[in-house]
Amino acid sequence: MQKEFISHITEIIIANIDDEQFGVSELASKLHMSRSTLLRKIRKQTKLSASQFIRQVRLEMAMDMLKNESYTVSEISYKVGFGSTSYFIKCFREHYGFPPGEAGKQKPEIQDEPEEKSPGYSSVKRVSFLILSVVLLSILAYSIWPLSSESVNETEKSIAVLPFKNESSDSTNVYFINGLMESTLNNLQKIKDLRVLSRTSVEKYRNVNMSVPEIAEELGVNYFVEGSGQKSGDRVLLHIQLIEAATGRHIWAEQYNRVVSDVFALQNEVATKIADAIEAIVTPEELENIEKVPTDNLAAYDLYLQSRNPILTGNREGYEKAIDLLEQAIELDPEFAMAYADLSISYFFMDLYQTEKQYTDIINNYADKAMLYDPRSDLSLIAKAFYYMQTNEYQLALPHLEKALEYNPNSAIAIQTLSDYYARIVPNTSKYLEYALKGLQINSSATDSTASSYLYLHLSNAFIQSGFVDEAVRYIDKSLEYDPQNYYSPYVKAYILYARDRDIGETRELLLDELRKDSTRLDILQEVAKIYFYEENYERAYHYYDQFISAKEAQGLNIYPQEDIRIAVTLEKMGMEDEAEAFVQSYADYCEADQSIYKGASMASLHAYHGEYEKAIEQLKLFAEQDNIQYWILLFMDEDPIMANLKKMPEYQAVKQRIDDRFWKNHESIRESLAEEGLI
């Protein structure tokens, strides 16, 4: 049955082989089954995703045509459904280990063919042979190899650059050796075909006594770069080696003795040789980016290297020290883009938690200088994105962050910022989960247990918002394993358990436990009040809302404006109509200004409060067209007393079902997408 199914879908793919647009959805339609069913069946029987399987059939057909037809490589690429010849060549090389132009040089197959054959027999025979080959290869892959070919390639091309050892007698040269390590890391990060762990993931291994296989088990990579070096006068001696993680086998090693003025050529050579040894594909654009010389002034570069460790401390004192060094660097080289970018970023983080921003113009000025001198640098683009975030122009920040990730696919700061962007600034559950997972891939072992705990907290939060309850439970437990004192994980876990158990009393008690630990927490105060509100215990809800309002006003905070309508209802129930009216007006102002995908739901609550049920239904219909909404909307909409009378409307259940159906359809689409990308 496996052979029959694979044979059947192979025939369908071949029948549509020249259609570039023929993909998973089209194949599912031809088979009269859902995408998810098709994905499960193909993965179960071949350990390949559906898109991988389609690509494999196209490449097998291309190989057949290269050996038996007289078309050019470009012609064949289009005949087998590749819209780009360069992408076809890349995929072909990955699949076969050599470019399509060398296909004819491979040892030819010996085939017995009948002396007489009807027209088209050869073509039919080749297609039939191709189908059988794909079927057999797929069954063999399922029977023999536990991982898909994509998973193997990903593991083989994952790499961590361990902290380099300083062998100089002068300990003040540590920054220079660290700079060589970070430059090697940065160059490798620019290669999309590699998964390169961030510096924070490896920093904790600087002074530990662990074997390479032991570190590999923690980090989940297949290769390590180890290095040691010393700087003496105007010369630098560097010994560097590439190690296979599972066995500790040395794959490549070299010792360099260069003058300091050759440091950039040295860094570039090391990165390209490592990529070659791993057989990573490096595009011409990536190679150009790697070979770019940041500055012609070695003294300026030396100051830049000295600024790196202070920046990585992440505290104000470190930023101030780095700024002083970077400003000296740009005095020596007024066109040093990396120095301008780090200046802008340092000032941004110094201003991040300040109520009154002090450095907005400085951040913008340095970011513009960085963009002027190197607009293709991920750091320049991130600096400009941070300026737009400083001024709350978030839509302008987004394309700069996405472009930064294009130039540096392993940029930890770009991925983390995009994760936060889609979690908090422009909520999008699908994107939040995607970047949270990517963040985990390149930060697989953070510097300490607290950092790891927060990493898993964000991932758990991203999973639950998209309705992945089991995954959310698993990762929130990992977060608490790393740091039981994590400030936010117990709070998030309370709601994750509600999503699993639907026990609102349990949720309330868990939140009260957290509030007892710190009665000043405004986030927990309003959550406890809200749970009592859902339970229609308005006296207890008022008890906590009153504390929340008093603390918020005393501190001059404008937070949780979406709660104002529930506060208004609670105040009304307590006979405080005048106070309630002020909160109703505040909530109306919030709804008017809301530009998020949740506006329809917010407006529905406002109309329901006023008894305008037809208008409320119309707003819910608009909300039902939104994608990537948070799971909490589904869980608590029916629990909200404000919706009690609205639920009696004949159309309510139908529109609520539309909201639910759209959410779960998106949920399944997210699952399929993440599975195809190897993220889950």
Q: Among 513, 518, 584, 579, which Cα is nearest to 546's?
A: 579
Is 312 part of a structural domain of the chain?
yes
**Domain end (from 258, 290, 322):** 290
Say whether both 580 and 634 belong to one domain. yes
Say whether both 582 and 658 belong to one domain. yes
Say whether both 259 and 330 belong to one domain. no
- 587, 606 Cβ separation under 8 angstroms: yes
Is 524 part of a structural domain of the chain?
no
Structure token digits, residue 347: 């000032």
Residue 142 has pLDDT above 60, yes or no: no
Say whether both 224 and 331 belong to one domain. no
Hey, is 242 helix, strand or coil? strand
Is 33 part of a structural domain of the chain?
yes
Residue 134 has pLDDT above 50, yes or no: no
State the average pLDDT over residues 421-449. Answer: 79
Q: Which domain holds residue 204?
A: 157-290
List, for residues 70-92, the tens digit of each pLDDT value. Answer: 888 878 888 888 876 766 787 78
Give the single-character DSSP code of 243: E
The runs of H, that is alpha helices, within 157-211 are: 174-189, 199-202
State the average pLDDT over residues 556-572. Answer: 91
Instruction: Give the chain's mean pLDDT.
Output: 84
pLDDT for position 197: 85
Residue 638 has pLDDT above 70, yes or no: yes
List, for residues 356-397, the tens digit of each pLDDT value. Answer: 889 999 999 999 999 999 999 999 999 999 999 999 898 899
Residue 534 has pLDDT above 90, yes or no: yes
- 252, 241 Cβ separation under 8 angstroms: yes
Structure token digits, residue 318: 């470190």
Is 516 part of a structural domain of the chain?
no
Q: What is the CATH number of the domain that holds 135?
A: 1.10.10.60
List, for residues 249-274, the tens digit of each pLDDT value. Answer: 788 888 888 888 888 888 888 888 88
pLDDT for position 104: 66
List, for residues 161-187, the tens digit of each pLDDT value. Answer: 888 888 877 766 788 888 888 888 888
State the average pLDDT over residues 501-526. Answer: 94
Residue 428 has pLDDT above 90, yes or no: no
Residue 126 has pLDDT above 90, yes or no: no
pLDDT for position 112: 41
Structure token digits, residue 484: 């039981």
Long-range contacts of 273-280 (CB under 8 A, 24+ apart): 274/159, 274/184, 274/188, 274/225, 274/242, 275/188, 275/191, 275/193, 275/194, 277/242, 277/251, 277/252, 278/156, 278/157, 278/159, 278/194, 278/223, 278/242, 279/156, 279/157, 280/157, 280/191, 280/193, 280/194
Computed from CA positions of residues 180, 182, 185, 186, in that sequence, does the dihedral angle turn out positive or negative? Answer: negative
Residue 220 has pLDDT above 80, yes or no: no
Is 657 part of a structural domain of the chain?
yes
CA angle 268, 274, 280 (to 5 degrees): 105
Number of structural domains the chain divides into: 4
- 608, 645 Cβ separation under 8 angstroms: yes
Radius of gyration over every alpha carbon of the chain, rounded to an integer in angstroms: 29
Residue 96 has pLDDT above 60, yes or no: yes
For 125-153, give the DSSP string.
HHHHHHHHHHHHHHHHHHHH-SS-HHHHH
**Domain end (from 121, 149, 177):** 149
Q: What is the CATH number of the domain that holds 233?
A: 3.40.50.10610
pLDDT for position 146: 35
pLDDT for position 75: 83
Q: What is the CATH number of the domain that holds 317?
A: 1.25.40.10
Is 565 part of a structural domain of the chain?
yes
Say whether both 281 and 302 belong to one domain. no
Say whether both 92 and 18 belong to one domain. yes
Say whether both 383 and 305 belong to one domain. yes
- 418, 435 Cβ separation under 8 angstroms: yes
Alpha-carbon distance 267 to 396, whole Å? Answer: 34
Say whether both 215 and 249 belong to one domain. yes
List, for residues 19-49, the tens digit of each pLDDT value. Answer: 877 887 788 888 888 766 777 788 778 877 7
Residue 110 has pLDDT above 50, yes or no: no
Q: Among 561, 656, 636, 557, which Cα is nearest to 606's?
A: 561
Hey, is 237 helix, strand or coil? strand
CB count within 10 Å of CB 642 equals: 18
Is 247 part of a structural domain of the chain?
yes
Percent of the chain with pLDDT over 90: 42
Give residues with Cβ within 8 angstroms of 93, minimum separation 6: 99, 100, 281
Say whether both 102 and 186 belong to one domain. no
Say whether both 171 and 116 belong to one domain. no
Is 444 part of a structural domain of the chain?
no
Burial class of residue 539 in the structure, from the number of CB atoms within 10 Å of its CB (0-12 exposed, 13-18 middle, 19+ buried): exposed
Alpha-carbon distance 433 to 441, whole Å? Answer: 12
pLDDT for position 448: 55
**Domain end (from 234, 263, 290):** 290
pLDDT for position 219: 78
Say whether both 173 and 286 belong to one domain. yes
Say whether both 272 and 337 belong to one domain. no
